[in-house]
Structure 1
Amino acid sequence: MTAAGGLAMSSGTVFARGEHDDDERDDKYNDEDEAPGEHEPAAPMTALRVAHFSPDAPNVDVYVDGDRVIADLAYDSITPYLELTPGTYTVTITAAGDPDTVAFEGDLWLGRAFYTVAAIGELGAGTFRPHVLIDDGSVLLRAVHAAPDAPAVDIYANDGDNPIIEDVAFGQSTNYVAIPAAAYTLDIRPAGDPETTVASFDVELERGVAYTGFAIGYLEPGDREDRAFTLRATVDGPMATHQAD
C-alpha cells in the first residue's frame, strides 16, 4: 500500500499461527488458546511483525524458537503481523536459505501487545541488531522520585537484565515509557547497581492505561514506620475518571 507522498504502508493483516505462507509453526492450539466452547482460536493477545532496514544485509529468514516464520525477507520490506502467545522466545535471523549463517540470535520477552522487530544497522560495521518497538496493547508508565533520603534509582521489571527506567534522582520525574500490559514485579535498585534491590512491588498494569509510580517515604524511617519507603501508584488522565465510576 502507498500513502500520499509516496510513503510505503504495510498491511494491517494479522495471520494466525501457520496461516502465513512462510510460517512453519504448528497451527494447532491447546485448550487455553481456544475461545470457550469454540474450536477456533481467540483473537491474538500478542503479534509480531518484522521489518528489514539493514542496507548492507542480504535477504533474511526469521526463526522463532527454531521454527521459520519469515522466508526471504528483502531490504525495505515489512511483514504482516504473525500471531504469538505471550512468553519468551528465541528469535534468530539468518541469511535467506542459509540457516547456518546467523546474523542475530537472542531471547525476546513478549507480553500482551503487538510488536515490530526492525533489523537495523550494518553487518559490515558490526552494528546489525533488532530494534524492538511496541505498536499497540501497551501501558504507559512514568516514575517520580519523592523519597528524600533515597539515592538515584533504576527500575527493573520482572527481574529483567536491563532497567525500564534509569537514574531517577530525588525530585525528578521521567517521561512515560510504553511497556506491554501485564502483571509485573517492579524492583527498585540504586542507579548502576543491579545487584541491590531496595524494594519490590507487584502491580497489574492494564492495556491502554497511563500510570505514575511515586516513590515516597524514607529508606531509613527510624521510629516513623508509617513513613517507610513505598511505591504509590496512580492512574493518570481520562482513565482515572473511568476507574472512579
Structure 2
Amino acid sequence: MLSGAGAASVVAIAGCLGGGEGSESDGSGDGSTTDDGGNTTDDSGDEDEENGSMEASVRVAHLSPDAPNVDVSVDGETVLEDVPYRTVSEYLTLESGTYEVTIAAADDPDTVVFDEELEIGASAYTVAALGELAAENQPFEVTVLEDDRSSPGEDACVRLVHASPDAPAVDVTVGDGETVLFEDVGFGETATADVAPGEYALEVRPATSNNDGEVVGTFDVEPAAGNVYSAFAVGYLEPSDAPVDEAFDLEVVVDAEGEYVDGH
C-alpha cells in the first residue's frame, strides 16, 4: 500500500518580511556589505560558491496520522530512525546537490513510502508526509516545502501548514475573530503572517467569506521577536470516525531563532 509514492511536489513559501513590506533579510549578518548610499548587498552566496560550500538544511515532518513510524535515509545512509507521527525532526545540514531520499516503515524496511532524488539548493526544506494510508479523507503524499527562515526583524513570523485530513479549508483569527491571520487555507496548503511578539489565542475556524465560522480549536502561543515558526494543524476534527484516534491539534515548532536588536 505504501510503495510507489509519486514524485514529490515542491511548494515555494512566501518570505517573512522584516523592516517593512518588500524587504527581505537572511538574518545572519554574514557576507553582507553596505555602500555609501546605505544599500546592503549580500555576497555570501558568491563566496560559498567559490569555496564549494553551499549548504542546505533538510528536516522531515511525519504528519500522516495512520502511517507507521518511519526511518529516513539519504543516499543509502540512515539519518533518522523510528520517527513517530507528529515528529518534526531537527534540520540536517547537507551541501547543495542532488540526493536520494528514502522514507520507509521502521518495522519493515521493504515498505517504502518515499524514494526520490531531491535537488536542493542553499535553502531550508521540510519533507512532509501528509494524508492517510486509508485515504478516507486525503490520500497519502509526500510534499517538499521550502522553508523561509529569514529574519522577521522585531516581529515574529508564523507559517501555517494545513495537515488535518478531515478538516476543511480554515481561517485562523485572534481576538474573537477581530483579527484574521490566515484565511481559506486548504489541506496541504501553507500561509505565512508576521505578528508582533506576545501572547495569542489562535482560533481555528472553517473558512467562510466573513471569517466567522464556528471555532473548532483554540491554541495558546507566545511568539518571540525575531523567531520564525511553523504551526502544523494535525489530527482529526472527528477522531471517532477516523482510521486512528488522533484529535485535532496544533504542533508548533521553531524554524529559526533570532534576537532583534534595534537598527541591526
TM-score normalised by the chain length of structure 2:
0.38
Give the TM-score normalised by structure 1: 0.41
Higher relative contact order (CA 8 A, sep 6+): 2
Over alpha carbons, which structure has the higher Rg? 1
